Amino acid sequence: MNSLKKREDSTPLPGAAYIRFSSDMQSDSFSLDALLRQIKEQAERDRVDIVKVFSDPARPAYLKKFRPGINAMREAGRRGEFEVLLITKTTAWRAARSRH
């Protein structure tokens, strides 16, 4: 994970988590709970306070309208509700970004 620019006053940065997995990857290591645990562990190391969690369990990456979690995350980002977005699988993120 990239290093985050820390605030001078050392208060945690407000962050959001986006978690998603496809139905063919449903296992203990890829469950939504496991992915969120990974993100929270990284957030703690980076001094990020997770203020929002967005998810799309077993949703197709190619249909934006069927992914309410990513749509809500994008809107919250536009409103400035968080400064940092933590995700676990960049391949899923790139696939979603290339189709929107």
Q: What is the pLDDT of residues 25-46, one digit of tens each?
A: 555 556 888 889 999 999 999 9
**Taking the CB of residue 86, how many other CB atoms lie within 10 A of it?**
22
3-state secondary structure of 7: coil
What is the C-alpha R_g of the chain?
14
Q: pLDDT tens digits for 70-100?
A: 889 999 999 999 999 999 865 554 444 544 4
Residue type at position 6: K
Q: Which CATH code fits 13-98?
A: 3.40.50.1390
The answer to whether residue 49 scores a pLDDT higher than 70 is yes
Q: What is the mean pLDDT of residues 5-15?
A: 79
pTM equals 0.72
What integer pLDDT is reported at residue 5 of this predicted model? 60
Position 95 scores a pLDDT of 46
Domain ranges in the chain are 13-98
